[in-house]
Amino acid sequence: MEGSVIVHEEEEADVCSGVDPHEDEVDFATTAEVREAIELLSSVDLRRLRMAAAHCLAGSDYAKSDDLINEATRRTMDAAEGLKGRRWPRSVPFMAYMVNTMKGLASDSRGSAKRRDTQSMEVLAPEGFSAEEALGALLQRGRRQTGLDTALVDRQEAEEIASAEERDLAAIDAHFASDEQIQYLIMGLKDGMKPAEVLDVSGMTQTQYDTAKRRFRRGLDKLFPGRRK
């Protein structure tokens, strides 16, 4: 299963069955089909999936590729059971679906202190109470202080992520400082230029542009080895 299909629109947020007016027109996979798709992934597919997850980590709350893949799998299984989650349309190749789901999850995880609190409450909630009920009760109890705490945590989290993104960008610039073609590529990507515009400005051929893009992707894999495992 080669990964030639990629959708640029990020996967939509978690959805529940019955809320999408067009869901009857789309055929979604069952839990058995999701599990079968996992078994059918080749060794190269799995390598590609892990590398894709690694590229999605920047600016997200996920520390490791496997964490993100694990979460995407669970959300897909949830939705296949009719619960809140990410639904895999049968018409979309599993690999492309997983990559887009991971992109969406990584983006959604940014500044997710409240979600982490809810996940913690799933463990702590008394029997008969949902995590939201228990969390709501505790938040209500200390609502004044918690409101301030939450705002502070959100702000600190946003500052940390922004700082991490700035560091990543600086590291990328430094790593590719000696490769002029990649510098043109990065400049074009950052400025939202079309490839043809980059070719025009840089004097690169299409082949040189494509190989620069390949070197860039390979360079990123090596630049952030700690979070690429």
Contacting positions for another protein (CB under 8 A): 2-6, 8, 31, 34-35, 38-39, 41-44, 46-52, 55-56, 58-59, 66, 69-70, 73-74, 77-78, 81, 83, 96, 99, 103, 107, 125-129, 133-134, 137-138, 140-141, 158, 161-162, 165-166, 168-169, 172, 185-186, 189-190, 192, 213-214, 216-218, 220
Q: Which residue's CB is nearer to another protein, number 93 or number 150?
A: 93
Which phi and psi (to 5°) does residue 139 adopt?
Answer: -65, -40
To the nearest whole angstrom, how small is the minimum distance from the Cβ of residue 35 to another protein? 5
Q: Who's near 3: CB < 8 A, 6+ residues apart?
A: 45, 48, 52, 95, 96, 99
To the nearest whole angstrom, how small is the minimum distance from the Cβ of residue 125 to another protein? 8
To the nearest whole angstrom, how small is the minimum distance from the Cβ of residue 82 to another protein? 9
Q: Which residue's CB is nearer to another protein, number 70 or number 156?
A: 70
| 128: exposed, middle or buried (Cβ count in 10 Å: 0-12, 13-18, 19+) | exposed
Q: Which residue's CB is nearer to another protein, number 25 or number 187?
A: 187
Q: Which residue's CB is nearer to another protein, number 24 or number 50?
A: 50
To the nearest whole angstrom, how small is the minimum distance from the Cβ of residue 152 to another protein? 17
Q: Which residue's CB is nearer to another protein, number 21 or number 28?
A: 28
Helix (H) or strand (E) holding 200: helix 195-202
DSSP conformation letters of 142-176 = THHHHHHHHHHHHHHHHHHHHHHHHHHHHHHHHHT
Taking the C-alpha atoms of residue 40 and residue 58, their distance in angstroms, rounded to an integer, is 28
To the nearest whole angstrom, how small is the minimum distance from the Cβ of residue 27 to another protein? 20
Place of tokens 């590719």: 176
Q: Which residue's CB is nearer to another protein, number 24 or number 64?
A: 64
To the nearest whole angstrom, how small is the minimum distance from the Cβ of residue 104 to another protein? 12
To the nearest whole angstrom, how small is the minimum distance from the Cβ of residue 22 to another protein? 25
Place of tokens 């400082």: 177
* Residue 107 · residue 9 · CB < 8 Å: no
Q: Which residue's CB is nearer to another protein, number 22 or number 151?
A: 151
* Residue 80 · residue 31 · CB < 8 Å: yes
| Structure tokens belonging to residue 176 | 């590719």
